[in-house]
Chains A and B, each alone.
Chain A
């Protein structure tokens, strides 16, 4: 197992390196640079000083070399080009907490509610709970995030005046954005679990369990749940990615000072260091979540547990 994880971490670093390199090259291949707008009006000499200060006067390859050296040796992503004096690493560590909290909350909610609804739907197949859940699921996959967000704001703040529209700080601020963010996950998980459970219910071993005299509740808990959750684990990776990309929109709508805000702005501003920094952050998050999913897979399903001898 240890060896397997080590190998996976190696591959993860390789992937990350490719992502960094590609982002670096792509962003430099776009005409213009972060200083162009501001420096245009300044005298020649000052312009040059600026470019020197940020190392943008050197060839791209050299810049790449310097960036990689700093990243690897010091873990330093550099300084923001647009907000002078603000280090990218600091910005990420400060704002990712906000995004992270929201994301984890939304993911946990989405997965638990989705799984529960899916099981309820499957066990009541073709009766009203099933139709209701599938109705919610279809809404969830077909209505865009920002419309759900706006609707939630309308009902819970404008009409019912229960929760704040925007802002950040207290738990009540996280409720609406989490719901809006996890709506898609609920829908996907409910549909996925429903079909899994329907398949598992007809397996022979469920009949064996029944013949043993296991109660209905325990059949669901011990025999159906674990086997049905397996395929659902596979989509956990993409779901995590989905939640974080959803965050870019949601943070805007609810005025949340998360990392998504910086990610979008950095691209508009051509803030090179910030682009790379946030990309590295989101990419590693995604890659790590994939590894976690793979390890979880082995925990849940003994058949694909990595054996001690194999690599």
Chain B
């Protein structure tokens, strides 16, 4: 399978009064056709910035995409696109769903018009046709009574319905890539499941590649093919779903997996939160960014940044524990319903 999107050494900073915040510090990954890539990590690790940078949605300034960064879509550098091409690229080739459906729709426009808008731009069809197409799209995302609903305003819909409308907008022009930035975070749990189910169906139907940004590992397990764990603007581990859940090598990934509340153990058992906070992204980072919170940190971790080590073709990790000289550490994880329960 060929890559449809390649991100190479993406570096994004924000100019603030306090100094330059280096939010993304050299992220590289690729996305294959039809594949679903999940980007996980705690708040403030650069997930959303990475996602928005792909569509060039960051406000520049204050954001700065550093020289040498490359975002290549189908052989074309997104960072070098002119205004016109960029407009066509957004919505036509690649589209995005945002975190909060309550605020992501224009409150003074009917949802029909909001879906039709992107159809009119990219498919160059007449308004009437676009509205008919919008009705069809609403039916696809399982909104009942689509013909009536098309005239509704966002405030007349529930959060889950609004997110369905967002999905309809995003998929309206059959984009090749869909970027979903925490699409379920603002919804309640039962709706979350429905939305993920819907996305799963649609990505198969439309054969869309998906980048999903999330901190919900449940979503990852249900939805993703490949997982990329980010910390302090770096990708610290990447691998396919099974490698990350069952064979992860990075202490941060372990901590993330351990922090998930478990249903299958008695309710008095303690939760395992990840202690401490991520490093201040204004300060320069020496060594491994996770070193200060890592239970297994060694001297070298504070001094030098670890190189990326390949475990398998798809599984790569940046951690000094992979060095042959490092002590062997047993993976301290119990996943529900697996081997050593």
Contacts and interface: CB of A to CB of B under 8 A. Distances in A.
Interface in B122-173: 122, 153, 155, 166, 169-170
B96 interface: yes
B108 interface: yes
Nearest to B115: A212
A97 to B, nearest CB: 36
A205 B98 CA distance: 9
A76 to B, nearest CB: 46
Interface of B: 55, 57, 87-92, 95-96, 98, 100, 103-110, 117-118, 121-122, 153, 155, 166, 169-170
15 contacts: A203-B103, A205-B103, A205-B106, A207-B104, A211-B55, A212-B90, A213-B88, A213-B89, A213-B121, A215-B121, A223-B109, A227-B107, A301-B108, A303-B153, A303-B155
Interface string A197-236: 0000001110111111111000000110011001000000
B179 to A, nearest CB: 9
Given A222-B109, A302-B153, A303-B155, A210 B57 contact: yes
A207 B121 CA distance: 16
Nearest to B102: A204
A207 B57 contact: yes
A227 B106 CA distance: 8
B91 A303 contact: no
B104 A208 contact: yes
A138 interface: no
A6 B135 CA distance: 37
B123 to A, nearest CB: 11
A128 to B, nearest CB: 17
A214 B92 CA distance: 11
Contact of B87 (A203, A215, A226, A301): A215
Given A212-B118, A212-B169, A214-B117, A204 B95 contact: no
A211 B96 contact: yes
Given A208-B166, A210-B57, A211-B90, A302 B107 contact: yes
A212 B100 CA distance: 16
A74 to B, nearest CB: 46
Given A213-B88, A213-B122, A215-B87, A208 B98 contact: yes
Contacts of A214: 87, 91, 117-118, 121
B155 A208 contact: no
A209 to B, nearest CB: 7
Nearest to B166: A208
A300 interface: yes
A210 B83 CA distance: 12
Nearest to B84: A215
B106 A209 contact: yes
B258 to A, nearest CB: 33
Contact of B57 (A211, A226, A302): A211
A213 B118 contact: yes
Nearest to A213: B91
Contact of B104 (A204, A226, A227, A302): A204
| Leading 6 A-B pairs by shortest Cβ distance | A213-B91, A212-B118, A213-B90, A204-B103, A302-B153, A212-B91
Contacts of A300: 108
A302 to B, nearest CB: 4
Contacts of B57: 207, 210-211
Contact of A204 (B98, B108, B109): B98
A302 B105 contact: no
B131 to A, nearest CB: 16
A223 B108 CA distance: 8
Contacts of A209: 106, 117
A211 B91 contact: yes
Given A222-B109, A226-B108, A212 B121 contact: yes
Contacts of A230: 108
Contacts of A212: 90-91, 95, 117-118, 121, 169
B118 A205 contact: no
Given A208-B104, A213-B121, A215-B121, 19 more contacts: A204-B100, A205-B104, A205-B105, A205-B106, A207-B104, A208-B106, A208-B166, A210-B55, A211-B91, A212-B91, A213-B118, A214-B87, A214-B118, A214-B121, A226-B108, A227-B106, A302-B107, A302-B155, A303-B155
A214 B113 CA distance: 13
A211 B48 CA distance: 14
Contacts of B104: 204-205, 207-208
A227 B98 CA distance: 20
Contacts of B110: 302
Nearest to B100: A204
A210 B117 CA distance: 11
Contacts of B98: 204, 207-208, 211
Contacts of A207: 57, 98, 104
A202 to B, nearest CB: 9
A235 B151 CA distance: 30
Contacts of A222: 106, 109, 117
A208 B105 CA distance: 7
A222 B121 CA distance: 14
A213 B103 contact: no
Given A211-B95, A212-B95, A212-B117, A302 B108 contact: yes
A217 to B, nearest CB: 11
Contacts of A213: 87-92, 118, 121-122
